[in-house]
Amino acid sequence: MTERVDTRTWVVTATYNERENLADLAESILALDLPLTLLIVDDGSPDGTGEVADELAEKHPGKFAVIHRPGKLGYGSAHRLGIDYALEHGADIVLTMDADLSHDPDRIPVFLAALEDHDVAIGSRYAEGGGTVNWGWDRKILSKGAGAMVRLASGMPYRDPTSGYRAYRAHILRDGHFEQALQEGYAFLYEMLFRCHRAGAQMTEVPIIFVDRQAGVSKMSKKVVFEAALRLFPIFWRRVTGWRP
């Protein structure tokens, strides 16, 4: 792990074989000229992503930080670790985003503005002004269907509850006990949102344009989708029983 820095806004991204995209993401983060740190949680990428991350942290101390894990341990656990690390290092705001350039870093100021009077800002492909690029009809149906299932099971009204591009205020992460979110894959995303929702978060959706990756290999699979669907049942049970984190 890198040494502690004092930046109050942290961006967490989980990487596995994202060497081709990480340099471009870093350049975009630097171009924002904002007081934030990009924390890269790398799962032992064999393509050298971790080495690129180390070079960025060494060249730009305070702007980049790195956590190396020994192998591919999962999307949810990577984000839990990254969020915990950011909060331990004084983060007031934690953003999560993908490293494959599907999430535009130029939208970060919009998220920060939204948090002036909200606890959580969700990057929404389906809010007015949002959308997707390079998606086929099957991907669109899958995404919208997943969102509808999450809304039905959880009672949450948000149009894009499976979006991974988000910003949280630190207090709501603690109130929702993020560290107890044990789901992996896309189920982690809606479990996190549900925890914040049940903890009383004021949430808003900000429009984003999701651009499908141009380099590297997608981590989406039928197994990931199936597991995410199965894990809606505990969310539904918590909803009907009045559970609170």
Which residue has tokens 């049970």? 237
Q: How confident is the model at residue 1 (pLDDT cuts 50, 70, 90)?
A: very low
Q: How confident is the model at residue 142 (pLDDT cuts 50, 70, 90)?
A: confident
Concatenated DSSP letters of 205-218: EEE-EEE--SSS--
Give the pLDDT mean for 105-114: 97
Q: What are phi and psi of 180, to 5 degrees?
A: -95, 0
Q: Give the residue from 47, 59, 40, 174 showing the smallest Cα distance to 119.
A: 174
Residue 8 confidence (pLDDT) above 80 = yes
**pLDDT attached to residue 3:** 44
CATH 3.40.47.10 fits 9-240, yes or no: no
Other CB atoms within 10 A of residue 59 CB: 10
**pLDDT attached to residue 186:** 81
Residue 229 confidence (pLDDT) above 80 = no
Q: How confident is the model at residue 225 (pLDDT cuts 50, 70, 90)?
A: low
Please tell me whether the overall predicted TM-score, pTM, comes out greater than 0.85 for this model.
yes
Of the candidate ranges 45-49, 127-131, 206-210, 219-223, the one whose mean pLDDT is the lowest = 219-223
Residue 218 confidence (pLDDT) above 60 = no
Q: Which residues contact 24 (CB under 8 A, 6 or more apart)?
A: 101
Q: Please give the Cα distance from 130 to 126 (Å, whole number).
A: 5
**pLDDT attached to residue 185:** 81
Q: pLDDT tens digit string along 38-73? A: 999 999 999 999 999 999 999 999 999 999 999 999
Q: How confident is the model at residue 5 (pLDDT cuts 50, 70, 90)?
A: very low
**pLDDT attached to residue 14:** 97
Distances in Å between the Cα of 67 and the Cα atoms of 81, 85, 105, 111, 122 are: 9, 9, 21, 24, 25
Distances in Å between the Cα of 29 and the Cα atoms of 63, 97, 106 are: 9, 12, 8
Give the pLDDT mean for 24-39: 95
Residue 15 confidence (pLDDT) above 50 = yes
**pLDDT attached to residue 213:** 60
**pLDDT attached to residue 155:** 97
Cβ distance 144 to 124 under 8 Å? no
Give the pLDDT mean for 125-133: 96
Q: How confident is the model at residue 144 (pLDDT cuts 50, 70, 90)?
A: very high
Residue 6 confidence (pLDDT) above 50 = no
